[in-house]
Amino acid sequence: MTPRIALITGASRGLGAALAEGLALRGWHVVAVARTTGALEELDDRIKTHKSPGAGTLTLAPMDVTDEGAMQHLCLNIHQRWSGLQFWAHTAVHVAPLAPAGSLDAKDWAKSVACNVTATGNLIPLVEPLLRDGNGTALFLDDPRGGEKFFAAYGASKAAQIALARSWAAETIKTGPRVLIATPAPMSTATRARFYPGEDRSKLADPRVEAERLIRMI
């Protein structure tokens, strides 16, 4: 039986890794994209240790989503090998340090826009035909902190990303693919720890629990 194919951009840690692991353990083949090769290999090792008879497999793709040429090549390979995708979760994000809007660092701002906005705008046209061919679903993760103090770079670029996703969702209601936008519960991740270093992490959701909830949506 041909496995269902998922693309996870930003699969090395946090919710992206949890989604990749959860899907693979359900028998999906997951194309896992992230910049950190070691983290992708650790994800692969975790899946292999389960040794479940129905477990799926991974294709590790250590690359940067801001590299448009690499993304074009990856999507072409997916088309040539599997014809289409059943799922794309876009969890890749650049998290700039918290800072007042009047003190934005130019490099952090440029990285935020490149990863959170430009890369998303480049990926949607590349992935859309793959999802149409696979009768698939795209998933984006909203974050309501846009406009809060000190979240200028992250909040503005993340809000722009979600605006792109909302437009895409509205445009494809009749034609497909299905585009979902979800707001995860506060999770115990490295990203959140950068925002709230003294927070009691025991009260936060496990990314794997949130991944299970989101997988049920598709």
pLDDT at 192: 87
pLDDT at 26: 92
Q: Which residues of the chain have pLDDT under 50?
A: none
Q: Are 187 and 204 in contact (CB under 8 A)?
A: yes
Q: How many domains are there within the chain? A: 1
Select from 12, 148, 153 the least CA-distant residue to 96. Answer: 153
pLDDT at 190: 84
pLDDT at 193: 85
pTM, full prediction: 0.94
Range of the domain at 179: 5-217
pLDDT at 52: 66
pLDDT at 145: 86
The per-residue DSSP string of the chain comes to -PPPEEEEES-SSHHHHHHHHHHHTTT-EEEEEES-HHHHHHHHHHHHHH--TT--EEEEEE--TT-HHHHHHHHHHHHHHHS--SEEEE-----PPPB-GGG--HHHHHHHIIIIIIHHHHHHHHHHHHHHHTT-EEEEE--TTTTSTTBHHHHHHHHHHHHHHHHHHHHTTTTS-EEEEE-PPPB--HHHHHH-TTS-GGGSBPHHHHHHHHHHH-
Assign residue 69 the CATH number of its domain: 3.40.50.720
